[in-house]
Amino acid sequence: MGSITNRYFNDVLWRDTAANGFVISNNDVHVWRINIRQNLKQLEQFETLLTPEETLRAGKYKQQKDTYRFIVSRGAQRFILGRYLNTPPAQLQFTLGDNKKPYLVSNNGAILHYNLSHSGDWIVLAIAQLPVGADVEFVDPVFPFQDILEENFSKEEVDYIGTSPERFFTLWTRKEAILKATGQGLGDHLKITPSLNGEHVLDSSLIGTDKNWLLHSFNIAPGYISTVVCEGAGQQLKFFDVDLA
């Protein structure tokens, strides 16, 4: 029977790109934060990295901000992943694994897993050599989260959340991150996915219940909460700011 351990980071040290070296070890999880507005100056460069299908999708958004967000997220993702694999971003070949989750394989056969999430002005990209999931949310103080608590949270979680938007969005990102890591749709799984601090046994109906998962929540910027989860135990999270100029 697998488990999930939920933790919260109060202090996060964001390093610049040069401190990374784009080398990742077995027990590392690299977390990248990307500010959409600050990277709009790279929009034309990012557009050249999109596949024809991605270019078509970018053109279907009704609002310009959504088009820009899509281009920046896909372009930055390809740029960063290409640096890890020492491969031109436009030449990356993605492979579909279990539950259609994409991953990359380097020239020496090493597997690189990743997951991306966006909200408001921010994008979070998590990279590891084991399955990984990420979610980020803007802590909207007027969002009527009370309306969806009973359907998506356990009684203990509802009691913990109370009237706090911060607690709601923290637990919500945890549920989304683990379901993204396993490739399991939200559906009826949100309520039975444990999100309170500490170690929990996973329900047998969830994918990945034979594995242990380590999860960390943290603020990526004022008003934004993010969660990253990775398979295994003892991972070291390292945090980086994107500078693609």
Distances (CA, A) of 235 to 106, 127, 130, 134: 21, 12, 10, 15
Instruction: For residue 160, report the phi and psi dihedrals to the nearest 5 degrees.
Output: -65, -45
Q: What is the pLDDT of residues 127-155, one digit of tens each?
A: 999 999 999 999 999 999 999 999 999 99
* Phi, psi (deg, nearest 5) at residue 181: -65, -35
Kindly tell me if the per-residue pLDDT of 244 is higher than 90: no
Higher confidence at residue 226 or residue 93? 226
Average pLDDT over residues 34-57: 90
Compute the mean pLDDT over every residue in the chain, rounded to the nearest whole number.
89
pTM: 0.93
pLDDT digits (tens, 9 = 90+) for 182-207: 887 666 688 889 999 999 988 877 76
Using a pLDDT cut of 70, give the percent of the chain over it. Answer: 93
| pLDDT tens, position by position, 55-65 | 999 999 999 99
Domains in the chain (CATH in brackets) are: 3-241 (3.90.470.20)
Number of Cβ within 10 Å of residue 84's Cβ equals 19
Is the per-residue pLDDT at 245 higher than 60?
A: no
pLDDT band at 20 (very low <50, low <70, confident <90, very high): low
The pLDDT score that the predictor gives to residue 15 is 87
The SS3 of residue 223 is coil
Q: Is residue 187 classed as helix, strand or coil in its secondary structure?
A: coil
Mean pLDDT calculated for residue range 43-57: 90
